[in-house]
C-alpha cells in the first residue's frame, strides 16, 4: 500500500489548484450568483488536458489516469463545485463510454471534441417518473429503416441547455425491463430535440441543468452503443465512472469547508479568545478532517483500482457514499462554526452548504450506494462481477 502521490500526480494536483485559484476563484461569487455558466473556463480546462486523463492519445487524450482526473476534479470543486460538472459531462461520461462501447467512427467523431471541450456533452438517464429505478424508464427508440425514432423525455439532465451531444438511454424492447434498454449517442441539435432549462434549484448555480423532450427524433442506426439491449449494462458502467467524478467533487467541497473553518476559527473572537480555542469547535473541526481524510482514502483507492482496470464497483460506491456524506457533514459544521455569517452570503459557506447536497442525490443517491455496499457484504448481490 502506498499512501504517497507520485511526483507526477503532485504536479497535476498543483496545476489544477493553481488554475482554480487563478482562473475560477476571482469571479466565483459573481458567477454563482449570476447563475453564469463559464464556457470559456471549460474550454481552458480542455486545452490544459484536464478532460483527457482517461482517454488514449489516439483520441486526443493524455492517459494520465483516473487518479489524475480525480485529483484535478477535487481541486476544481474545492473552489467552485459547479465547475467540476464537465469532468463527468465530457470525460468520465460520454468520452469514456463511447471509448468502451462505441464504434471506431463514433470514437473519432466525438471523443477528441469532448476532450478538447470544443464539444460539450451530457448523459440522459433520469425521467420525471424514473430516478433510482433506471430500468423503469419510458423513453422509446423504435427502429425504422436505418434510423431509430425516439420519443419521450428526460429530466434533470446536467448540461442539457448547452450540450452538443448526449448519451441517451431509451427502451428498444418494452416489457423486458433492464434487458430492453439501449444506449445511443444523440446529437442534441437534431430536429425534434427540445430543451427547457431548470433555473430554480438549490445549488450548483453555475452548472446548467434541463429537461429534454424528444419528438420523433431520427437517430442514425450507427449511433447505437454496443448492441440493442446493452443499455442497462452500459448505463451501470457509465455510472461507475461518473461516480468517481462526483466523489472527487464532494471531496473538494468538504476540503473547502475545512479550509474556511480553519481560517475563521482563528479570526473570530468571542469571550475574549478565538473560537478555535473552544473544545466544541475543535470537536467539529476534528470530525470534519478525519471524515474527509477517510473518504479521500476510499476515493483514491477506487481511482487506483480503476487505473489497474480491476473490478471496482464496490470501492467506487464506498468512495462516492463516504465523500458525499463527508461533504454534507462538513458543510453543516462549517455553517455552525460561522454562525450568522455562515447563513449570510458574505462568506462562501452558504454556497458550500447548497452545493454539497447534490452529491447525496446524483449518480445514485446515498441510499443506492448503501444498497450496493450492504448487498455485497450480505452476499445477496456481489458488486464486483
Ligand atoms: C443537480 C442535479 C443534476 C443531475 N444531473 C443528471 C444528469 O446529468 N443525468 C441524469 O440522468 N440525471 C441527473 N440527475 C438526476 C439524478 O441522477 C436523480 O435525481 C437520482 O438518480 C435520484 O433519482 P430521484 O431524484 O428520482 O429520486 P428517487 O429515485 O425517486 O428516490 C427518492 C428517495 O427514495 C430513495 N430510494 C429510491 N429507491 C430506493 C430503494 N430501493 N431503497 C431505499 N431507498 C430508495 C432515494 O434514495 C431517495 O432518497 C440530476 C439531479 C440533480 C439534482
Name the residue with cell 482563528.
Answer: 266
The per-residue pLDDT string of the chain (385 residues; one tens digit each, 9 = 90 and over) reads: 888 999 999 999 999 999 999 999 999 999 999 999 999 999 999 999 999 999 999 999 999 999 999 999 999 999 999 999 999 999 999 999 999 999 999 999 999 999 999 999 999 999 999 999 999 999 999 999 999 999 999 999 999 999 999 999 999 999 999 999 999 999 999 999 999 999 999 999 999 999 999 999 999 999 999 999 999 999 999 999 999 999 999 999 999 999 999 999 999 999 999 999 999 999 999 999 999 999 999 999 999 999 999 999 999 999 999 999 999 999 999 999 999 999 999 999 999 999 999 999 999 999 999 999 999 999 999 999 8
Final residue of a domain: which of 228, 259, 274? 228
Q: Is residue 2 part of a domain?
A: no
Q: Which ligand 1 atom lies nearest to the CA of residue 160? A: 8
Residues 271 and 372 both lie in one domain: yes
Q: How far is the CA of 131 from the centre of ligand 1 (A)?
A: 5
Q: In this structure, what CATH number is given to the domain that contains residue 69?
A: 1.10.540.10
Rg (C-alpha) for the chain, rounded Å, is 21
Residues whose beta carbon lies within 6 Å of some atom of ligand 1:
123-126, 131-132, 156-158, 204, 209, 358, 361-362, 365, 367-368, 371
385 domain residue, yes or no? no
What number does the ligand 1 atom closest to the CA of 124 have?
11
The residue nearest atom 9 of ligand 1, judged by CA position, is 157
Same domain, 219 and 243: no
| 222 lies in the same domain as 244 | no
Q: Which of 236, 238, 257 is nearest to 328 (CA)?
A: 257
Closest Cα partner for 248 from 186, 319, 353? 319
Which of 116, 147, 163 is the last residue before a domain boundary? Answer: 116
Question: What is the domain extent for residue 257?
Answer: 232-378
Tell me which residues are annotated as active site.
363
CB-based burial label for 174 (10 Å; 0-12, 13-18, 19+): exposed
Distance 286 CA to ligand 1 centre (A): 31
Of ligand 1's atoms, which has the minimum distance to the CA of residue 133? 29
Residue 341 Cα to ligand 1 midpoint, Å, equals: 31
In a domain, 131, yes or no: yes
Q: Which of 84, 207, 241, 219 is nearest to 165 (CA)?
A: 219
Amino acid at each position: 500500500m502506498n499512501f504517497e502521490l507520485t511526483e507526477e500526480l503532485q504536479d497535476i494536483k498543483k496545476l489544477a489548484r493553481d488554475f482554480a485559484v487563478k482562473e475560477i476563484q476571482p469571479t466565483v461569487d459573481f458567477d454563482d450568483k449570476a447563475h453564469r455558466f463559464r464556457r470559456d473556463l471549460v474550454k481552458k480546462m480542455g486545452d490544459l488536458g484536464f478532460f483527457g486523463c482517461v482517454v488514449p492519445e489516439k483520441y486526443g487524450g493524455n492517459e494520465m489516469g483516473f487518479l489524475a482526473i480525480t485529483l484535478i476534479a477535487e481541486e476544481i470543486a474545492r473552489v467552485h463545485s459547479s465547475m467540476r460538472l464537465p469532468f463527468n459531462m465530457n470525460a468520465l461520461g460520454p468520452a469514456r463510454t463511447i471509448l468502451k462501447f462505441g464504434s471506431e467512427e463514433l470514437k473519432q467523431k466525438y471523443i477528441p471534441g469532448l476532450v478538447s471541450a470544443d464539444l460539450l456533452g451530457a448523459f440522459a438517464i433520469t425521467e420525471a417518473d424514473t430516478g433510482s429505478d433506471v430500468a423503469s424508464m419510458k423513453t422509446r427508440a423504435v427502429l425504422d429503416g436505418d434510423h431509430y425514432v425516439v420519443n419521450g423525455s428526460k429530466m434533470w439532465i446536467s448540461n442539457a441547455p448547452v450540450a452538443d451531444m448526449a448519451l441517451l438511454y431509451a427502451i428498444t424492447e418494452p416489457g423486458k425491463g433492464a434487458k430492453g434498454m439501449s444506449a445511443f449517442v444523440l446529437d442534441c441539435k437534431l430536429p425534434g430535440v427540445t430543451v427547457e432549462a431548470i433555473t430554480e434549484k438549490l445549488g450548483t448555480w453555475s452548472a446548467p441543468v434541463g429537461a429534454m423532450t424528444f419528438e420523433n427524433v431520427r437517430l442514425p442506426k450507427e449511433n447505437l452503443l454496443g448492441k440493442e439491449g446493452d443499455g442497462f449494462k452500459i448505463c451501470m458502467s457509465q455510472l461507475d465512472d461518473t461516480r468517481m467524478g462526483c466523489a472527487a467533487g464532494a471531496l473538494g467541497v468538504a476540503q473547502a469547508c475545512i479550509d474556511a473553518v480553519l481560517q475563521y476559527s482563528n479570526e473570530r473572537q468571542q469571550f475574549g479568545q478565538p473560537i478555535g480555542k473552544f473544545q466544541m469547535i475543535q470537536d467539529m473541526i476534528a470530525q470534519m478532517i478525519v471524515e474527509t481524510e477517510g473518504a479521500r482514502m476510499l476515493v483514491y483507492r477506487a481511482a487506483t483500482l480503476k487505473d489497474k482496470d480491476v473490478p471496482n464497483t464496490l470501492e467506487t460506491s464506498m468512495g462516492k457514499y463516504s465523500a458525499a456524506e463527508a461533504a454534507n457533514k462538513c458543510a453543516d459544521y462549517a455553517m455552525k462554526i460561522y454562525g450568522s455569517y455562515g447563513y449570510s452570503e458574505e462568506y462562501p459557506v452558504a454556497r458550500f452548504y447548497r452545493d454539497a447536497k447534490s452529491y447525496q442525490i446524483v449518480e445514485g443517491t446515498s441510499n443506492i450506494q448503501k444498497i450496493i455496499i450492504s448487498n455485497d457484504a450480505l452476499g445477496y448481490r456481489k458488486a464486483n462481477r
